[in-house]
Amino acid sequence: MTNATNVLPSYQRFVNGVPVPLFSRRSFRAKEKYLIVLVFLTFSAMCFGTFFFLPDLSSTGSAYNSVYQVYQKIQKAGPDLLLPAPPHGYSGSRDSHGPGGGVNVIHIGLERPNNAEDEDIHIIEDKQKLQAKIDEEYQQQKTLEKPDAAVESRSRVSSSVVAWSPNNRQEDIVQTVSSSPAIRVILPDGEDKDPVVRRRRDTVKKMMLHGWQQYVTYAWGKNELKPISKKEHVASIFGTTAMGATIVDALDTLYIMGLHEKFNQSRAWIAKNLDFDINSEVSLFETNIRFLGSLLSSYALTGDEIFKEKARQLGERMLPAFQTETGIPHSLINLHTGTSRNYGWASSGCSILSEIGTLHLEFAYLSDITGNPVFRSKVEHVRKVLKNLEKPKGLYPNYINPRTGKWGQHHMSLGGLGDSFYEYLLKAWIQSGKEDVEAREMYDEATAAVVKNMVKKSPSGLLYIMDLKFDRPEYKMGHLACFAGGMFSLGAKTKENEVTDKYMEIAAGLTNTCHESYDRSATKLGPEVFHFIEGNEARSLRSGERYYILRPETFESYFVMWRLTKDPKYREWGWEAVQALEKHCRVPGGFTGLLNVYLVDSPKDDVQQSFFFAETLKYLYLLFSDDNLISLDDWVFNSEAHVLPIKGKPFYRAEPIL
């Protein structure tokens, strides 16, 4: 049994033979007291600051950003109590991913070294540099529900940006992690040597800023803007849900124009708010070219994982549309339930040629970057079904029944309902690095049939592509078909053969006719449809065909023809269009379409279309840029003008197929 008198509590010790508590006041020196008080005050300040400034973690884009913002706010509450935080997203090694590696740490001891004064100076300088870096990065990454609409006169990029050039190897390109919106890769500036051309490009950029700022002010997060009413526009193609269509559609245009701050604001909105689990019916085609195309383009341009992840989520929600008897997808899909159907007006429930044939570029690239082959397999199956069908006169009708796999009514067109099917055959071949031989063969056969049966010349010598309905010609051409000048020239220049010169002549002729449709209007903007009958050429004959909704197709052909021929008239025609847009479509609240291009003071439609940013302004901006900005040797444009990389080029980021 232990003697109780010899057992002392753990908190006691003997002093001069007398037991005293272990933490008796007599045991502390003045410095020790000061240290304990300082530690206690620091801990209290941290707890108070954390509680007071703690944001709602559920509403932030990522846990890392949330913690980082908490740290900054605590630091502002008591900056002298804390060590400086490492720069947001900083990594000490190029091979490390995320914010965890290689950060320089400042160690502060309790004892002053011999060179204490010098050491203090260095610590202060280091803290000041780090604080400046923190402030700079915080300004880049902060996100508001409605970002500041201040004019950005010239793009600025932080010192962490790595400039890209064609000589960079793909593995050397620094990619943006999903937790950081900072730009990591920049494109060539693309400024032309001619000062007049540079001024014209700057005008287009200012148009982009004007339209964008009004959208941010009056419709941020909504699909589109009504620039006269200054409120949101609801378009049926996006269902009934606000999906930020303009934000997504404008992404790569903002990037290409060097508007990095606005790109980052859009990226932050997408990371936090873009959710495809919506119980609403949307157009499969429009969702593909606008949303999926833009997300893939932004991933190719930046390597930012958030865009790839959003693209994967959307692609998976689109797959149920392919669950038909033939694998031909439906036109409409509910992204929440997966149910799909076709338009009631589309030739007895048929799918539409341009819609089922305008998925290949996006789905093929999505398979390549995710390593999931299912997306590519779906669109390759669609192509095989179309290839194996018997085609009247070698032409593709605009309607096909997804249940029987047979053509609907024999209506053929390179305008609406047919247009981008032909475009994607050519561009799938280009995108593949010219390995997709089947796509090129189908394109050559299809365009040969179009040239033989649908390309006509008017009495005055204007070349155009007419529609056919049950072998009955319709002597008209739609604005949507004005892309064909660029398509024919791109097809001719990418594969030299015996018909190259002929197809370049067709390309030039079609582009000229579309320009004439603009030039023969009072506003110098082209109508939706123009005819070649009754002594009227390249003019609308019906009131419902005279509108202009900020369409890009004519400018697309100007751009491609300029890049491939260097004929200066295409830039002059483009400048005419810029002036017309500024004069007739610009309003204080943005840019609007016109109801009648033949009236100088035309009534306005009060819609700023999302494709005005994605296509119209992008093509005009590139028309006045040097060829090194989005080179046609490195990129293809999807039907919404979102840029997708060509296989084997530096930006073609791909994962192994599973």
User: What are residue 637's DSSP bridge partners?
Assistant: 643
User: Are residue 170 and residue 81 in the same domain, yes or no?
Assistant: no
**Nearest alpha carbon to residue 434 among 371, 493, 353, 388:** 493
pLDDT at position 33: 65
pLDDT at position 185: 61
Cβ(509)–Cβ(548) below 8 Å:
no
**Strand, helix or coil at 635?**
strand
Backbone angles phi, psi at 248, to 5 degrees: -70, -45
Residues whose CB falls within 8 Å of the CB of residue 404, separated by 6 or more in sequence, listed in order: 325, 326
Integer Cα distance of 208 and 212 in angstroms: 6
Binned at pLDDT 50, 70 and 90, residue 239 comes out as confident
The verdict on residue 374 lying in a domain is: yes
The verdict on residue 656 lying in a domain is: no
**Residue that the structure tokens 């011999």 belong to:** 114
User: Are residue 515 and residue 641 in the same domain, yes or no?
Assistant: yes
User: Are residue 84 and residue 122 in the same domain, yes or no?
Assistant: yes
Residues whose CB falls within 8 Å of the CB of residue 102, separated by 6 or more in sequence, listed in order: 91, 92, 93, 96
The verdict on residue 248 lying in a domain is: yes
Domain count, the chain: 2
Residues whose CB falls within 8 Å of the CB of residue 468, separated by 6 or more in sequence, listed in order: 395, 410, 411, 412, 413, 453, 454, 474
Cβ(379)–Cβ(638) below 8 Å:
no
Integer Cα distance of 62 and 160 in angstroms: 21
The verdict on residue 459 lying in a domain is: yes
Cβ(655)–Cβ(369) below 8 Å:
yes
**Nearest alpha carbon to residue 548 among 602, 485, 509:** 602
pLDDT at position 108: 28
- Higher pLDDT among residues 396 and 162, named by residue: 396
User: Are residue 249 and residue 129 in the same domain, yes or no?
Assistant: no
Q: Residue 177 — left, alpha, or beta (φ > 0 → left; ψ -120 to 50 → alpha)?
A: beta
Mean pLDDT for the stretch of residues 387-392: 97
- Higher pLDDT among residues 483 and 170, named by residue: 483
DSSP code, position 266: H
User: With 70 as the cut, is the pLDDT of residue 496 above it?
Assistant: yes
User: Are residue 608 and residue 478 in the same domain, yes or no?
Assistant: yes
pLDDT at position 655: 73
Residues whose CB falls within 8 Å of the CB of residue 495, separated by 6 or more in sequence, listed in order: 440
The verdict on residue 17 lying in a domain is: no
Binned at pLDDT 50, 70 and 90, residue 45 comes out as low
Q: Residue 325 — left, alpha, or beta (φ > 0 → left; ψ -120 to 50 → alpha)?
A: alpha
pLDDT at position 434: 97
- Higher pLDDT among residues 501 and 570, named by residue: 570
User: Are residue 63 and residue 124 in the same domain, yes or no?
Assistant: yes
Q: Which amino acid is at 488?
A: F
SS3 content of the chain, % helix, strand, coil (to 5): 50, 10, 40
SS (H, E, C) 522-559: CCCCCCCEEEEECCEEEECCCHHHCCECCCCHHHHHHH
User: With 50 as the cut, is the pLDDT of residue 114 above it?
Assistant: no
HSE, CB side, 13 Å, CA atoms: give it for residue 303: 24
pLDDT at position 467: 97
Mean pLDDT for the stretch of residues 391-410: 97
**pLDDT one-digit tens code per residue, 624-650:** 999 999 999 999 999 999 999 999 998
What is the torsional sign of CA 422, 425, 431, 437?
negative
The verdict on residue 528 lying in a domain is: yes
User: Are residue 118 and residue 188 in the same domain, yes or no?
Assistant: no
Integer Cα distance of 157 and 180 in angstroms: 14
Pairing verdict, β 18-21 and 12-15: antiparallel
User: Are residue 297 and residue 172 in the same domain, yes or no?
Assistant: yes
Q: What is the mean pLDDT of the chain?
A: 81
pLDDT at position 32: 63
Residues whose CB falls within 8 Å of the CB of residue 15, separated by 6 or more in sequence, listed in order: 24, 26
The verdict on residue 14 lying in a domain is: no
**pLDDT one-digit tens code per residue, 166-175:** 333 333 333 3
Binned at pLDDT 50, 70 and 90, residue 498 comes out as confident
Give the DSSP per-residue string, 314-345: HHHHHGGGG-SSSSPPPSEEETTT--EE--TT
Crossing angle of helices 374-388 and 437-453, rounded to 10°: 40
% of residues, the chain, pLDDT over 90: 67
pLDDT at position 44: 67
User: Are residue 137 and residue 283 in the same domain, yes or no?
Assistant: no
pLDDT at position 46: 63
* Token pair of 114 as six digits: 């011999």
User: Are residue 429 and residue 538 in the same domain, yes or no?
Assistant: yes
The verdict on residue 207 lying in a domain is: yes
Lowest-confidence region among 41-55, 188-202, 419-433: 41-55
User: Are residue 173 and residue 57 in the same domain, yes or no?
Assistant: no
pLDDT at position 651: 85
Cβ(223)–Cβ(235) below 8 Å:
yes
Any idea what the CATH number is for the domain that residue 342 is in? 1.50.10.10
Integer Cα distance of 308 and 210 in angstroms: 29
Cβ(288)–Cβ(362) below 8 Å:
yes
**pLDDT one-digit tens code per residue, 592-621:** 999 999 999 999 999 999 999 999 999 999
How many contiguous H segments (helices) and E segments (strands) does the chain have? 21, 23
User: What are residue 224's DSSP bridge partners?
Assistant: 233
Where in the sequence numbering do the catalytic residues fall? 528
User: Are residue 341 and residue 483 in the same domain, yes or no?
Assistant: yes
User: With 90 as the cut, is the pLDDT of residue 208 above it?
Assistant: yes
Q: Which amino acid is at 419?
A: D
Domain of 125?
A: 26-90+106-141
